Chains A and B, each alone.
Chain A
């Protein structure tokens, strides 16, 4: 048994390329998400059609362009050119200022501005719209005498648990889940399928080692590897991105271990079902990874997906694990608030192990 585990470790560690990638993926993902993927706008290329070219219109344009959000890509000269400007694909917003802008404001106290947005990305379009509107309201305030003596509600907003809406809070739980899935389920399923494909599995099966020992031996190194990956991610989040870990760390690690074991049993199950590495791989890829990316909620908010997706989500272990991590790590909750989710993952583990044993027995008979 010991020798067998050593053999597995040797095989994994000798394959340097896989190893680098194995640990490289989580690190790169964390860094990418932390530094590159920001859900806020910056330097959005816009175009302007200024029909007035007078005092206020120029002031407003200067105000818009001096914000860090927008850069002027093009000055459009006529209505006809608008469509063309968009089709070239660069600009995301076109601001149309009506004729006699200053005069209208001075004489009639009213003037019009039209914002045309490239809404093919609705989320970005929404953000651009609210940023621009905010700048325009500011401008309005500037050109008016004070608002004092006006009854009005000033809402103070507080973002609890994540005051700066830092995206680290979203992607760390997500990346941990994905990496544990990748390393645990995918690696085991492929490694077992590989032994089957190369015929070495049969050699192992006729040896005096018991099947359960073979499986344990195969799985053990991956438990360690997965655990190291999880630690790396947590470490990066803590040091590089200064994400606080509010909750109980031993509890967090214990839950991670449980999830790893669940993922491994899923991996074993996949490998008993698949007869080649290729199939095992594509199955894990499609059945595990995309759902864990999506349902971990680090890109798209988990709640409020259509009901059918929510139901599918219930059958996906990653969903539950993400809830657990977020509760412990960010909210600082104890086992009391995540016992249900923990039981569900435990249930998945038992289910997959049971299925694998059943499949395995059938094959031997």
Chain B
């Protein structure tokens, strides 16, 4: 048992001695969390709008005013030529064009429906969808007013009043959603890469042979290697939670104890995979590529950015072996919704089994004798 302590001591010494490793392990992830949390958002602050009002009537101006009054729209250009504004869009100076035809007022006066055009620069599809929704909601509002003003509303119209309440995140704050996930992402990357490079580094510099002639037990070796990284990743996670709570004011509804407990198992899982990769590779470069390959796939499929439910079935099947998916879902459920042990027991069991599996694989693949 004492040998484990010596390995741990040695690993810590080596990590803390490297002047560049410390900031990488401790400062950069925190920095990343701060930046990522702010950057990862679907919210739109404003849309650069171009307006073509061929009607110039009371009604058309009223519609234009509605757009001007909205904090989302900044009128960048006005013109009577669609070609001119199209060119502006081609050069990215306007993002959306509102086109009001000349017969606008007439048609409305005659109680006819009238068409207007909303042209959106959809190069950035995600943003385009949101801009379109904003614009449509303004038009919808305008329509409602029209109905009320025109007093033509048939009295026997049945209307369903829909009220929406947003639970767990009433302000629809995207940070609340992203931070638990980003936290998982950062801790996983740190853990995976530190452990993934570790054994292979000893292979590269040749010290692994010196260790292999010692009577050290395989599992002692693995435990000794794993522990320092476990503490580092745990520290990162804990610090991240503190930031989430006090800087980003994310409500942590569930039990912190439960989070720490499952995180500690999850990290064993991640580090196990890292050490396993390390035993497979011959060079650090290789180890890194293997790790990077899986990390990319796992992150993209994990539901960090896009909900898992929207993915095709085969992608959801891959997620059965995706540790990041389990833990992100777990973190969001516990942190935001206050899920209790029983609610997340499936996640916990999966993570635990996976952790045992990955550690066993790493121990089995680490061969003292070639």
Contacts and interface: CB of A to CB of B under 8 A. Distances in A.
Interface string A303-340: 11110110010000000000000110011010001000
A281 B343 contact: no
Given A15-B285, A114-B162, A285-B292, 17 more contacts: A18-B285, A25-B292, A36-B311, A41-B309, A44-B309, A89-B344, A119-B172, A126-B172, A139-B160, A151-B152, A153-B146, A155-B117, A155-B139, A157-B135, A162-B123, A163-B122, A333-B90
Interface in A257-297: 274-279, 281-283, 285-287, 290-291, 294-295, 297
A304 B44 contact: yes
Given A155-B135, A309-B35, A150 B152 contact: yes
A22 interface: yes
A122 B169 contact: yes
Nearest to A115: B164
B126 A120 contact: no
B128 A124 contact: no
- B89, B309, B338 interface centre (most CB from chain A within 10 Å): B309
B147 interface: yes
Interface in B197-220: 197, 201, 204
Contacts of A149: 111, 152
Interface in A29-48: 29, 32-33, 35-45
B305 interface: yes
B242 interface: no
Interface in B86-127: 89-92, 95, 107-127
Contact of A89 (B91, B166, B176, B333): B333
Interface in B309-362: 309-312, 314-315, 329, 332-333, 336-340, 343-344
Nearest to A286: B28
A21 interface: yes
Contact of A32 (B146, B154, B157, B301): B301
11 contacts: A18-B285, A18-B289, A21-B293, A22-B289, A110-B160, A118-B337, A119-B170, A152-B146, A157-B132, A302-B127, A337-B91
Contacts of B136: 155, 157
Nearest to B46: A304
Contacts of B197: 277-278, 281
Interface residues of A, number: 117
Identify the 6 closest CB pairs spanning chains A and B, nearest first: A301-B127, A119-B166, A159-B122, A162-B122, A122-B172, A36-B315
A25 B286 CA distance: 14
A193 B292 CA distance: 18
A280 to B, nearest CB: 9
Interface stretch (B17-25, B231-239, B258-266): B17-25
- B18, B166, B167, B289 interface centre (most CB from chain A within 10 Å): B289
Interface of A: 15, 17-18, 21-22, 24-25, 28-29, 32-33, 35-45, 86-89, 92, 105-106, 109-126, 129-130, 132-133, 136, 139-140, 143-145, 149-163, 165-167, 169-170, 182, 190-191, 194, 197-198, 274-279, 281-283, 285-287, 290-291, 294-295, 297, 299-306, 308-309, 312, 326-327, 330-331, 333, 337
Contacts of A305: 38-39, 41
B6 interface: no
B39 A294 contact: yes
Nearest to B153: A150
Interface string B38-70: 111111111000000000000000010000000
B292 to A, nearest CB: 7
Interface string B127-148: 1111011011001001100110
B300 A331 contact: no
A207 to B, nearest CB: 23
B118 A285 contact: no
Place the interface of chain B in its size category: 35 or more
Contacts of A25: 292-293, 296
A130 B40 contact: no
Contact of B292 (A21, A109, A279): A21
A156 B167 CA distance: 33
Contacts of A152: 113-114, 143, 146-147
A72 to B, nearest CB: 14
Contacts of A145: 154, 156
- A28, A86, A133 interface centre (most CB from chain B within 10 Å): A86
Given A18-B289, A117-B164, A194 B126 contact: no
A147 B203 CA distance: 77
B284 interface: yes
A153 B115 CA distance: 6
B163 A153 contact: no
